[in-house]
Chain A
């Protein structure tokens, strides 16, 4: 066998192909089957899409690099499940493009942050984290409260997401800008139209406490409040397996 190896080493092109083949075995075995194995991504009925305001908030989350210090992935480890809640399922990131699982936790995991704290807390915390958590090392993001949200082009963002598989309807894309505005302005006509499209259970609130001004704070808080709440499946699975604890 060693003789054959000597022969291979002397044939440059064959050697290159041999290296590519061997190096790709890991990828072929670990990645390719994920597209064919049925149980990779759970099928759930109650999975909902991000609203345009939440998409805008997600873009801010990416822009400010929140993922560098916060993960969004609760692993199948006892201490994580006991601290953060049911472990993350693949389907919960189904509409995440790109996914924001992260791998570093300077701050806590955010996968189940939605509705854990009030909007007012998030606003106070983002303006100056030390006002509410004295020991925090998180930077201040006070400008989010001052910056008006750029929402006129939200239809393009939604259209791009639809191209990679998020089931937005034509109507949702067409009225994306109006819906972005409506979700942060309760009791307005646009809020009613928004709820008709995205469901009565969607959060319609003045997230930053000021319904008169649509800010980046509105968008980011709206996004943070939906984390882990796009579907109930993780909670159902947890209560089925541990007998309703």
Chain B
């Protein structure tokens, strides 16, 4: 190892290292780099003063600006809530029936409600709101609990069989699993239920059993579904005389429903959506059905 020496060509010192005659220059850090390094250190010190940085035991320096992520997001939320209130107030203050008659409001409902529906409802009811097996269609005029805007709003708010204190509760009993009806009785009853909407589908033999089916229906089903099978909005019992089926209207589906029962769940949205959004969605859903009122 040689001693550092002055390089005759550049006038700089060498590091003192030498490998087979190759020596390394001790080039000083360029001025601009030094400048920006100093600037970085300076801005770090500045940030220590302005923002929350240094921890000390049980706490940390809060910084003179008092910036806090949580306050920031809360301020942003308050600001956007204020912006929204321009149109939101109209939906929280007016009567639902008045809003329904208000073309201007309904135009807004159709555009904004579509996005709310897509975000929150379409997972179950489908993008086209036509439902699917186990999830009711919202585009027809058949409703379990009633289809006016106020009733839909209540269903949205508390849900059905949902973990909300005021939730709507309805259960189709498992007549088979709980041993209330044997398989022969269930078969007779299935045929009777089919006869309520599509009597032509039954064979002669099946038709002969219909009076027995009617008796069974009267004893087991009519308290919820009504004597004529027309259902009831008060207890959320579906109408059995139409062509609207949540779990399928073919013989096998009806037999499965009778045997295992059904407890459909509609989640509640009171905690997730604002009052304005809930009302807007109710109007949107109400507006989905064909215009024939």
Measuring CB to CB, which residues of chain A are less than 8 angstroms from any residue of chain B? 6, 29, 32-33, 36-38, 76-78, 81-83, 85, 87, 115-121, 124-125, 131-134, 203, 235, 241-242, 245
Q: B274–A124 contact, CB under 8 A?
A: no
Q: B272–A85 contact, CB under 8 A?
A: yes
CA distance A203 to B15 in the complex (A): 73
User: Given A132-B123, A133-B123, A242-B77, are A76 and B70 neighbors across the interface (CB < 8 Å)?
Assistant: yes
Query: In chain B, residues 55-89, which have Cβ atoms closer than 8 Å to a Cβ of chain A?
Result: 55-60, 69-70, 72-74, 76-78, 80-81
Q: B58–A36 contact, CB under 8 A?
A: yes
Q: Which residue of A lies closest to B15 (CB)?
A: A6
Q: B132–A132 contact, CB under 8 A?
A: yes
Say whether B199 faces chain A, with CB atoms less than 8 Å apart. no
What's the dominant secondary structure at chain B's contact region? Answer: mixed
Given contacts A33-B57, A33-B60, A132-B126, 5 further A-B pairs with CB under 8 A are: A33-B56, A76-B73, A77-B73, A115-B162, A242-B77
Q: B59–A37 contact, CB under 8 A?
A: yes
User: Given A118-B267, A132-B123, are A78 and B77 neighbors across the interface (CB < 8 Å)?
Assistant: yes
Q: B77–A82 contact, CB under 8 A?
A: yes
Q: Which residue of B lies closest to A229 (CB)?
A: B163
B55 contact set on A, CB distance < 8 A? 29, 32-33, 36-37
Q: B80–A82 contact, CB under 8 A?
A: yes
B288 contact set on A, CB distance < 8 A? none
Q: A121–B73 contact, CB under 8 A?
A: no
Q: A241–B74 contact, CB under 8 A?
A: yes
Say whether B54 faces chain A, with CB atoms less than 8 Å apart. yes
A203 contact set on B, CB distance < 8 A? 163
User: Given A85-B272, A115-B162, are A131 and B132 neighbors across the interface (CB < 8 Å)?
Assistant: yes
B119 contact set on A, CB distance < 8 A? 83
Instruction: Please name 25 pairs of A and B residues whose Cβ atoms are closer than 8 Å in the assembled complex, sorted by A.
Output: A33-B55, A33-B60, A37-B55, A37-B58, A76-B69, A76-B73, A77-B73, A78-B77, A81-B73, A81-B77, A87-B70, A115-B268, A116-B272, A117-B267, A118-B124, A119-B265, A120-B264, A131-B132, A132-B124, A132-B132, A132-B135, A133-B122, A133-B123, A203-B163, A241-B70
CA distance A235 to B162 in the complex (A): 18
A78 contact set on B, CB distance < 8 A? 73, 76-77, 80
A235 contact set on B, CB distance < 8 A? 271
Q: A121–B124 contact, CB under 8 A?
A: yes
Q: Mark B243-285, 1 if CB is under 8 A from A, else 0.
A: 0000000000000000000001111100110100000000000
